[in-house]
Chains A and B, each alone.
Chain A
């Protein structure tokens, strides 16, 4: 089965101007805030992780037709059913019929502040040295992985330079698939605009960087 992300929008033409909303409210309906809170609270159960969530969202077939929190809601329902935490008919009926799965824990009101302040750091210790150093030229891999990944399409198969070495981080591609953390060195790689988009716009030089794991890269 082909994996396709509907969320990989960088560089796409035809989306028109960026439109700002005057006096934008934080939420446009009460259910939106509820969905946000449900997603954060369910994160504390450990039934899935942030990378699984992103994979669930970006593969929603109607991703581009849904509003932001509709995407969150649809992906939450999908994750619940996928993980076996809730059966589809329980969602339809709005009541629990089957036994719950064991979880890592439940987020209680008095713990919210501490849990938010702690977050979920992804930096890890590693004994293996970084393969690349600041200033080194690299190529990003050109092939399209058949799973969740964090190398945007526009930055595939491009030549760039290592600008920052962030240390080992949980590897999103593996983590999203339930294969454990498999931490890898993470780098900021910067590209000239000509490399990404072609043309010669040196008068208005801009550069773009992405944060990428070591296995996305090859020496240039």
Chain B
């Protein structure tokens, strides 16, 4: 997987002047940029795609769909006992009631962290991820080290993320090998009792909903800015 990372960096170096291409496609574009443009041209000419739909898709994943959606779900579960119960019983319906549903979140299951049990989600076979509530997965989630080790050495992976759990906490890893997608409901941090749902949502990091992190504590460094 070093290879993949390397390839990635390599591509990256060649992408800095991507905006120049409209009049003079060629010298300033990387081979990959050219290859994708050529493919898009063929598919458009054949009538398989509408290029305007591509723009909307990209914009949607860049601006509409991301981990702030999931944070709203978690904050609601922390502050509303009935919603929490519904989420743990029928996550698909509970999450849809907040407006999040669809592609790669068609069948949702929420799993709850407790002092005794820590849940962590992986897709060892590809990169299955609950897109409607977490957006597009980070590179590490798709990388060989995470996919290889999450099932075999979850405690070691958690250490890579700076998370140390008590030995008495059992770890449960969910390998999402079919079309069920998992949301980890992190433990509500101490000292958050007085916070509103909006303030609670700011404590919910992306990683805490995958299980490679825990929720931020109120007043901690990360809690004041938008967390990843």
Contact = CB atoms under 8 A, between A and B. Distances in A.
A21 B49 contact: no
Given A31-B36, A100-B46, A206 B15 contact: no
Interface in A27-59: 28-31, 33-38, 40-42, 45, 47, 54, 57-58
A138 interface: no
B214 to A, nearest CB: 15
A34 B40 contact: yes
Of the four ranges (under 10, 10 to 19, 20 to 34, 35 or more), the interface on chain B belongs to 35 or more
Interface in B10-28: 11-12, 14-15, 18
Contacts of A109: 50, 52-53, 55-56
A206 B172 contact: yes
A8 B124 contact: yes
A42 B38 CA distance: 15
Contact of A10 (B35, B48, B152): B152
Given A31-B30, A36-B61, A85 B11 contact: no
A208 B151 contact: yes
A24 to B, nearest CB: 5
A67 B8 contact: yes
A186 B178 contact: yes
A85 B49 contact: no
Interface of A, secondary structure class, is mixed
Interface of A: 5, 7-13, 15-21, 24, 26, 28-31, 33-38, 40-42, 45, 47, 54, 57-58, 64-68, 70, 73, 76-77, 80, 85-86, 90-91, 93-96, 100, 103, 106-109, 111-113, 115-123, 150-152, 154-155, 164, 166, 169-170, 172, 186, 188, 190, 196-197, 203-213
Given A21-B139, A86-B42, 9 more contacts: A26-B62, A26-B135, A41-B54, A64-B1, A73-B39, A121-B107, A122-B106, A188-B180, A211-B180
